[in-house]
């Protein structure tokens, strides 16, 4: 019966020992084959988590193998690491038992180990029989800084599972990079300088003997990189820019040559003079704003140690693209002398966008000014007109000449005399045709005998004074009427406006005069401000003013009056009695002329006592009739004396 069958009844866990590749110790079966027989595979690692064959715990897990570090019955590994230290490093400590349940490296029982908190198991081979690990070379550390000086100790060598004193040597020193030193060669030291960039790790083979058959182990020594800040030595190592320096061209930058710990990443900042432009790219397409400036690029190199900058040499100044004409300028307008012609620029290429100048020519002779328009004159009759457009930018200038326009023909004669009228909105009188207004800058409607053309000049005069000289625009051309506003305010009183129509140096006859009045004066009320009326008599006061007006009652406290036409009356055309208490009544009347000018006056009317008039007082229900010619009277036995 194999030990594997005896262990469970004794309460002894059993696991199959395999190497780092998953092959059974002292056998050939794989992890899968052992699992099929109900045996879980484990592999021993040292206190750094590496197996004898160099497999890491991650690699073992990927192969379906559990890792453990052998410790003695006190929980101490061959390297001196305690069980607690191993657990903190993520490595499971395990005590190896024999088939009887006693520690292989001492005499502790399973009960004792459990009391110490130490896990344990009995290793079995592929046949299921209890076995031991055998002697294994261990090293306390496998990492070394690349800056380590020669002779720096990497780790301490030891043997687990062996007996006696072992002496260590290197059968492969990685090309002289490492050596053993100290008593029995237990110290593994560096023997040469190391460089992470060229060799991040080295394989060495350690041999150990205690006088019997030597044992060996290949160990992987990892070189730990010490980050070095990127550095650029300048000169030929600086970033360099290539590409076209004509605007719109693409510039490309190299990173330059750098030293420092890898990997190194690079960022780019393009500059127009001292101004940042572009994005974080090794290329930059120049734009119009770059013209005249030189370009540089700042490359920033970054690694785990930090960042450093290097600036390229400047390019030549960026140049523009001189203007080139692709479509000729063109002239539009009327060939009739006096008309205004208009030129287009034509179509041009060039960067930056050109500016344009114009030279008009009549039969090849310079005329006009540097404008987009030109009004033909008598001297142009019979000639063709051209325009030379000059396009200019920082890269240069170029000319393009339009096709000939014309020939220019003379006008048949001066235009006919226009007619004038006051615009309805400005004629504020009693009707829209009475030519009376309060508007001091009225609108004048002018009607012409011919359709207007661009460049015609309309002269509007008040007597001999010119109010407006208006040049017809392209928007107004084609119409036979135009509305002009008197720019200078007109004084009150009568005005006589005339107009002329000028075209091509020829002027129409003067129009018939438009006569109208600017009325700015309020009417004068000539009605007396006071009046008397006998009691019991109807009121009829004629309201008068110095001009035709409309009368309104604007203030009448007590509602005593009314206006009928131009007559002021008592309300409802009644009468007033003399009271001896309040016998004077006032109201305000307003006179408004036909253009809206208004003035107001207060009229006071006094009611007069009339002798012999019978009054009915009607007091307290007592009927009393009094004849005012007598100073005494009586009623129902009561005597009264008038005082």
CATH superfamily membership of 137-224: Cadherins (2.60.40.60)
Q: Quick check: bond before 426 cis, omega within 30?
A: no
pLDDT in tens, 472-500: 998 888 899 999 998 788 998 899 999 99
pLDDT interval class at 367 (50, 70, 90): very high
Higher pLDDT, 339 or 346: 346
What fold does the segment set 325-401 form as a domain?
Immunoglobulin-like (2.60.40)
Q: What is the pLDDT of residue 80?
A: 80
Q: Which of 279, 263, 268 is nearest to 310 (CA)?
A: 268
Residues 6+ apart with CB under 8 A from 83: 71, 75, 76, 93, 117, 118
Q: What is the pLDDT of residue 484?
A: 92
- Whether 499 and 528 have beta carbons less than 8 Å apart is answered as no
Average pLDDT over all residues of the chain:
87
Name the burial class of residue 638, with classes exposed (0-12), middle (13-18) and buried (19+) by CB atoms within 10 angstroms of its CB.
exposed
pLDDT in tens, 523-544: 999 999 999 999 999 999 999 9
Higher pLDDT, 412 or 68: 68
Q: Which of 162-166, 294-298, 367-371, 610-614 has the highest mean pLDDT?
A: 294-298
pLDDT in tens, 113-130: 999 999 998 887 777 777
Strand ranges in 244-363 using DSSP code E only, listed in sequence order: 250-253, 265-272, 275-277, 283-285, 295-303, 306-311, 321-327, 331-332, 340-343, 347-351, 355-362
Higher pLDDT, 233 or 98: 233
Give yes or no for residue 620 having a pLDDT over 60: no
pLDDT interval class at 329 (50, 70, 90): very high
Q: Quick check: bond before 619 cis, omega within 30?
A: no
Q: What is the pLDDT of residue 613?
A: 53
- In terms of pTM, does the model score above 0.75? no
What's the farthest any 2 CA atoms get from each other in the chain? 178
Strand ranges in 479-631 using DSSP code E only, listed in sequence order: 481-485, 493-503, 506-507, 514-518, 530-534, 541-542, 550-555, 561-564, 567-570, 584-592, 598-608, 614-616, 625-627
Q: What is the pLDDT of residue 149?
A: 95
Give yes or no for residue 26 having a pLDDT over 90: no
Q: What is the pLDDT of residue 399?
A: 97
DSSP readout, 38-73?
Answer: T--EEEEB-TTSBBTTS-BHHHHHHTT-EEEEEE-T
Give yes or no for residue 1 having a pLDDT over 80: no
Give yes or no for residue 622 having a pLDDT over 50: no
Q: Rounded to whole angstroms, how far apart are CA atoms 190 and 177?
A: 6
Q: Provide the terminal-to-terminal Cα distance of the chain, rounded to the nearest Å.
A: 166
Give yes or no for residue 603 having a pLDDT over 70: yes
Which two three-digit tokens encode residue 192?
A: 């040469």
Give yes or no for residue 636 having a pLDDT over 80: no
Average pLDDT on 27-50 reads 87
Average pLDDT on 357-369 reads 93
- Whether 501 and 472 have beta carbons less than 8 Å apart is answered as no
- Same CATH topology for 235-311 and 325-401: the answer is yes
Q: Quick one: which H or E segment has residue 34?
A: helix 31-36
Phi, psi of 394, rounded to the nearest 5 degrees:
-65, -20
SS3 5: helix
Q: Pairing mode, if any, of strands 419-422 and 93-96?
A: unpaired
Give yes or no for residue 64 having a pLDDT over 60: yes
Average pLDDT on 136-142 reads 80
pLDDT interval class at 161 (50, 70, 90): low
Q: Quick one: which H or E segment has residue 14?
A: strand 14-17
In this structure, CATH architecture of domain 235-311 = Sandwich (2.60)
Give yes or no for residue 297 having a pLDDT over 50: yes
Higher pLDDT, 613 or 183: 183
pLDDT in tens, 174-211: 999 999 999 999 999 999 999 988 999 999 999 999 88
HEC sequence for 234-248: CHHHCCCEEECCECC
Domain ranges in the chain are: 3-133, 137-224, 235-311, 325-401, 419-518, 530-608
State whether CATH 2.40.100.10 applies to domain 530-608. no
Q: What is the pLDDT of residue 3?
A: 62
Q: What is the pLDDT of residue 216?
A: 83
HEC sequence for 99-156: CCCEECCCCCEHHHHHHCCCCEEEEECCCCCECCCCCEEEECCCEEECCCCCCCEEEE
Q: What Å distances lie between residue 562 and 57, 272, 338, 558, 601, CA to CA?
A: 120, 88, 66, 11, 15
pLDDT in tens, 234-263: 999 999 999 999 999 999 999 999 998 888
For CA atoms 554, 556, 559, 563, give the dihedral sign: negative
How many beta carbons lie within 10 A of that of residue 543, not counting itself?
19
Residues 6+ apart with CB under 8 A from 465: none
Neighbouring-strand partners of residue 26: none
Degrees (nearest 5) of the Cα angle 580, 538, 532? 50
Average pLDDT on 502-511 reads 87
CATH class of the region 419-518: mainly beta
pLDDT interval class at 135 (50, 70, 90): low
- Whether 192 and 176 have beta carbons less than 8 Å apart is answered as yes
Q: What is the pLDDT of residue 230?
A: 96
């Amino acid at each position: 019966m194999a030990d594997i069958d005896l262990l469970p009844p004794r309460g002894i866990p059993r696991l199959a020992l395999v190497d780092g590749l998953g092959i059974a110790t002292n056998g050939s079966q794989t992890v899968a084959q052992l699992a099929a027989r109900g045996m879980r595979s484990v592999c021993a690692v040292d206190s750094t988590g590496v197996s004898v064959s160099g497999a890491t715990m991650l690699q073992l897990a990927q192969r379906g193998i559990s890792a453990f570090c052998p410790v003695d019955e006190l929980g101490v590994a061959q390297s001196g690491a305690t069980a607690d230290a191993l657990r903190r490093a993520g490595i499971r400590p395990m005590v190896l038992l024999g088939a009887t349940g006693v520690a292989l490296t001492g005499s502790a029982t399973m009960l004792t180990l459990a009391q110490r908190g130490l896990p344990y198991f009995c290793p079995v081979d592929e046949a299921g029989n209890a076995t031991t690990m055998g002697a294994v070379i261990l090293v306390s550390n496998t990492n070394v800084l690349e800056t380590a000086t020669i002779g720096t100790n990497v780790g301490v060598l030891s043997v687990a599972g062996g007996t006696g004193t072992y002496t260590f040597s290197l059968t492969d020193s990685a090309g002289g990079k490492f050596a053993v030193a100290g008593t029995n060669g237990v110290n593994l030291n560096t023997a040469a300088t190391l460089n992470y960039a060229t060799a991040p790790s080295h394989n060495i083979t350690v041999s150990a003997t205690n006088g019997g058959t030597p044992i060996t182990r290949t160990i992987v020594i990892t070189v730990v990189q010490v980050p070095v800040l990127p550095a650029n030595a300048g000169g030929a190592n600086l970033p360099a820019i290539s590409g076209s320096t004509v605007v719109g061209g693409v510039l490309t930058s190299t990173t330059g040559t750098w030293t420092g710990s890898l990997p190194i990443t690079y960022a780019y900042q393009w500059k127009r003079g001292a101004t940042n432009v572009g994005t974080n790219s090794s290329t930059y397409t120049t734009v119009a704003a770059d013209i005249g400036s030189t370009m540089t690029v700042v490359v920033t190199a970054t690694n785990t140690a930090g960042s450093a900058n290097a600036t390229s040499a400047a390019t030549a100044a960026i140049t523009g693209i001189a203007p080139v004409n692709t479509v000729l300028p063109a002239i539009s307008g009327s060939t009739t002398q006096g008309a205004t012609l208009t030129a287009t620029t034509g179509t041009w290429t060039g960067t930056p966008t050109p500016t344009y100048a114009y030279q008009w020519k009549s039969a090849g002779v310079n005329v006009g000014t540097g404008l987009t328009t030109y009004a033909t004159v008598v001297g142009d009759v019979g000639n063709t007109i051209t325009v030379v457009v000059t396009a200019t930018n920082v890269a240069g200038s170029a000319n393009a000449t339009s096709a000939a326009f014309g020939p220019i023909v003379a006008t048949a004669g001066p235009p006919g005399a226009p007619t004038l009228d006051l615009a309805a909105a400005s004629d504020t009188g009693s009707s829209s045709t009475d030519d009376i207004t309060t508007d001091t800058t009225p609108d004048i409607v002018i009607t012409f005998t011919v359709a207007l053309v661009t460049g015609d000049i309309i002269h509007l005069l008040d007597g001999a004074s010119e109010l407006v000289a208006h040049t017809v625009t392209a928007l107004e051309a084609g119409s036979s009427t135009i509305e002009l506003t008197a720019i200078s305010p007109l004084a009150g009183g009568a005005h006589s406006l005339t107009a002329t129509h000028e075209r091509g140096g020829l002027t129409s006859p003067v129009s018939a005069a438009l006569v109208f009045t600017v009325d700015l004066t309020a009417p004068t009320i000539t009605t007396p401000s006071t009046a008397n009326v006998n009691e019991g008599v109807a009121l009829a006061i004629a309201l008068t003013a110095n001009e035709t007006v409309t009368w309104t009652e604007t203030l009448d406290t007590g509602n005593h009056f009314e206006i009928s036409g131009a007559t002021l009356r008592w309300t409802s055309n009644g009468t007033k009695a003399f009271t001896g208490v309040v016998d004077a009544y006032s109201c305000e009347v307003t006179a408004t002329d036909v253009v809206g000018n208004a003035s107001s006056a207060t009229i006071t009317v006094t009611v007069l006592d009339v002798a012999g008039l019978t009054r009915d007082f009607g007091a307290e229900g007592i009927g009393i009739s009094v004849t005012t010619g007598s100073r005494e009277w009586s009623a129902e036995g009561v005597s009264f004396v008038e005082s």
